Chain A
């Protein structure tokens, strides 16, 4: 069973600090990786995707990919209370399949 692993949390971060969310995956064939944000009672919302090793920045969000270590992370700078949500990591395993982790619940404390 190809898996994506995330720490379920909750992860608590003070407002204005950097939140760091981590994800590991088991399928070395995965080529693309996605971070989704899901507010309670809502559907997942795509935040970022990354295909290449290294960092990809979009506003306050930075995705990091290390294929050798099979590791993906999401950094949120200047965390805001509105960033409080569950963050889902997903890996593309080909054949139109995304495999999701169970999500990390993030709480930003004012």
Chain B
């Protein structure tokens, strides 16, 4: 248990659905992240939030929309997804964003299947 929780753990959705992924960290960290992990590909950074401000949007399609209402919560809103978006979506948090204290701790992930 890393102190980062994600819900739901599994999600199946059609291409026309709208759904949201939720992440909560109980570590008092300042930065939160969304990653995508597909089979046989490296972890891909999607979004970074530092002190509730988005500091990185790694060329992610607009059908993925992040929201960070406070430093403990992070959402990923999904709409009009494609089957190739099926993957494990991981949330992570870190204490800080400098060259030290930036170790990232991951939640258990949401396994997303788009039909």
| A interface list, Cβ under 8 A from B | 4, 31-32, 34, 36, 42-46, 49, 51, 88, 90, 92, 94-103
Contact = CB atoms under 8 A, between A and B. Distances in A.
Given A44-B90, A88-B43, A102-B40, A95 B56 contact: yes
Nearest to A36: B106
Interface residues of B, number: 26
A43 B99 contact: no
Contact of B107 (A43, A46, A97, A98): A43
A32 B107 contact: no
Contact of B50 (A4, A46, A96): A96
Q: Which 3 A-B pairs have the closest CB atoms?
A: A100-B43, A43-B106, A96-B97
25 contacts: A32-B102, A34-B103, A34-B104, A42-B108, A43-B2, A43-B107, A44-B43, A44-B90, A45-B2, A45-B106, A46-B105, A92-B102, A96-B33, A96-B48, A96-B55, A96-B97, A97-B45, A97-B48, A97-B56, A99-B42, A100-B43, A102-B40, A102-B41, A102-B42, A103-B42
